[in-house]
Amino acid sequence: MGKLALLGIFGVISAATIGLKMSQPVMQLSAVAAVVLIVLFIGSGILLFGHKHPEQATLEGLEIVAWQHQVLQAAKGGIEFLPGQSPIPDPNNPLPIVSDSEAEKE
């Protein structure tokens, strides 16, 4: 499940909890507005990071570390992979997808 989906679920649960627990409409409205602003602020931060760093946004935690390790090793002139870790393709330059019929021709 993605970060934005979790953020949306958090926002809905928070707004529902506020609606059930508070009795004054003005307080309900202001608290829900605060939750909406916080969710929008965090969500825009996630989207901005993904826009600025698309290669890191497509990878998960350990994959980022392994990919950065591969990039640094390649810059030194030799590629060493982390123990027990398969090489991670460059997210900036993905490999072309080859269908089964194209693979049989080769």
For 88, other C-beta atoms within 10 Å of its C-beta total 19
Residue 54: the pLDDT is: 77
Chain segment 13-67, per-residue pLDDT in tens: 988 888 888 888 888 888 888 888 999 998 898 889 888 877 777 777 777 777 7
Predicted confidence at residue 81, as pLDDT, reads: 57
Taking 70 as the threshold, does the pLDDT of residue 8 lie above it?
Answer: yes
3-state secondary structure the chain: CCHHHHHHHHHHHHHHHHHHHCCCHHHHHHHHHHHHHHHHHHHHHHHHHHHHCHHHHCCCHHHHHHHHHHHHHHHHCCCCCCCCCCCCCCCCCCCCCCCHHHHHHC
Highest mean pLDDT among 1-10, 26-35, 80-89: 26-35
